[in-house]
Homo-oligomer: A and B are copies of this chain.
Amino acid sequence: MQFQHLRHRSIYACICVSDFKENLEAVSKAISECSFLAIDGEFTGLNTSSHNIHAFDTPEERYQKLRQGAMEFLLVQFGICTFHFDEEQGKYITRAFSFYVFPRPHNRQAPDIRFLCQSSSIDFMVAQNFDFNKVFKDGIPYLLPSDEQKLRESLQQKHQIMEKSDVSSPGFSPSSHQKNQPKIPAEHREFIEDVCKKVEEFEKSDLDVMSLAPCNGYARLLIYRNVKARFPARIQMETNTDNKKVQYIVVSKTKSPEDAKRKLEEKKAEDYEQLDDAVGFSKVIRMISQSGKLVVGHNMLLDVLHTLHQFISPLPEDYEEFKSMTKCCLPRLLDTKLMATRPPLKDQLQYFSLGELHKTLQSKPFVVPNIVFPEDVPSYDNSGEQLHQAGYDAYITGLCFITMANYLGSVQKPPQDAVTPDSPLLQGYVNRLYLMRINDIPYIDLSRPDPLPSREHVFHVRFPSEWKASDLNHLFSPFGNIQIVWLDETSAFVGLYKKEQAHTVLRALTKGDNYHVISYNDYRKRITELTPTNQRKRKSPVSDVDLPAKRPRSQKQETKRDITTIPEEAEDEEVNGEEAKEGNEIDMTEEDAVTQDHSEDLGGWVEMW
């Protein structure tokens, strides 16, 4: 989540692969001691161009769309801020961490991840001094438990073979013992002779280890085979890779069978340690999951999806399965944006992006909580890197949560002070994830069926591709202002602001000679009928079927404003729902606008000039 307008002394530890191990203990301690923790993620992109969210998504459609993004884009920084409430002092003791994470393939067997980037997101992150070299070079690796299991098994097999062939070099499995020495392609004889001479000298010397000159994979195989055949069991070879990824063979002596066995054991231990390092950041997520602590985020649906998909298990295609998986892996979630956008807090607030929210919460009627940063947490001051660090945004999120929780207490009769995470006052928000830009469905409910609003005032319209917003506005003019959601060049959802007009629409319109109107609910039914059951559960979610790619940019001035979201606002920018609507109304009457979404629309509009 990107985050504006604030400066603050550095209060978080920025952790990458080099100092991950030494900090893991401190992180574990912070998580196990805290009263709750806040999280925030930074991603390489937000939405795939073919999966645009809109105001008439159902929660399941929204999940399917965001799932696509979460599967394709990469979470590259994970922020954690733990808050421990000290009853005596009435203070929160706080620890914040920013982790750079990157799926570095630690060896040949490791998964070679492909991930998507969105240039507007990258451009914005770089403008905030996000350090991509650091992510790519020093990012902490991670593994899904399933991949870890596979790698563990493959190690076991490898070790079995090594024990059988009782040497730690390839090309020397028992079978190959019986074979005579492999013939060397003519043009390589000289090269191999050279190497063998070197090895012979090395053998006679007092040296224990010798590195050969770097060479390619084919040359390495020839060396393995021929050198091994000439010096059976007396020497060992393995391939090393330097920090420039240049590969070369290291030759070492085998003094005795015991020595060989010892080397084998060392090799095994080394392999398992390497695997343990590869599990890396996944350990932290497992700690959070196992702690069962309340996990707070701001507009956190994307953060949750990425966290599950990247560190715990690929996101299921089935929506209900996703709900139960989330409940099982992150049993207590709370979204500060949901808190802020519901009464009673909603009535005290105007803007709901993390930055704006934090600003508002610093003045009356809100009270800034008492926070202490202990010194025992690694932390350096680097104001350049400070802003837009996930650990810092997580800290602000936790701060907003405490402030809003305390406000809820203050408006009780009698007032309560210091509302803690387990307070009944918060139960209404727990395990409900805020849904952006859907006015009539505020959240995904992980514990219950989602809210199911009437959409009788919404209609699906087919029309000629020449049609513009003005044509739709004109068609619906008898019924007042409308909200338009383009599905493609020839279809759209149209919502009435005057819901009471809903019943009259179909009588008046239904089918003209060049357009066709049906109710939202009928449209839904047809789509569901049209979609094979297996497909409904599989790769192409319903949303793909009924919500084609974003309307292609056309040269019509009106549709110009159908543009991508303003980066800094993309994840999180929203204004109070009522205003948003009013904004749309002003907008459409004055500008005859195509409005898919309030902030997008304004962003595009204002940007035009």
Residues of A within 8 A of B (CB): 4-5, 44-45, 48-49, 74, 102-105, 107-109, 112-120, 122-128, 131-133, 136-137, 150, 153-154, 157-158, 161, 168-171, 173, 175-176, 179, 182, 185, 187-188, 214, 216-218, 220-221, 224-225, 238-239, 243-247, 350-351, 353, 356, 553, 555, 557, 560, 563-564, 566-569, 573, 575-576, 578-580, 582-583, 586-587, 590-592, 598-599, 602-609
Contacts and interface: CB of A to CB of B under 8 A. Distances in A.
A230 B481 CA distance: 26
Contacts of A128: 244-245
B350 A560 contact: no
Contacts of A132: 132-133, 136
Given A185-B582, A216-B569, A591 B173 contact: yes
B119 A116 contact: no
A603 B171 contact: no
15 contacts: A74-B117, A107-B607, A109-B560, A116-B116, A123-B136, A125-B136, A126-B137, A154-B560, A158-B557, A161-B557, A169-B609, A170-B605, A175-B590, A179-B590, A221-B602
Contacts of A243: 127
Copies of this protein in the complex:
2
B171 A590 contact: yes
B117 A182 contact: no
B118 A112 contact: yes
Nearest to A170: B609
Given A175-B590, A217-B602, A579-B187, A116 B115 contact: yes
Contacts of A49: 112, 114
Given A221-B605, A608-B108, A116 B118 contact: no
Given A116-B117, A158-B557, 4 more contacts: A116-B116, A173-B591, A216-B573, A218-B579
A100 B564 CA distance: 25
Contacts of A563: 108-109
Nearest to A586: B182
B246 A350 contact: no
B119 A117 contact: no
A185 B216 contact: no
A246 B603 CA distance: 12
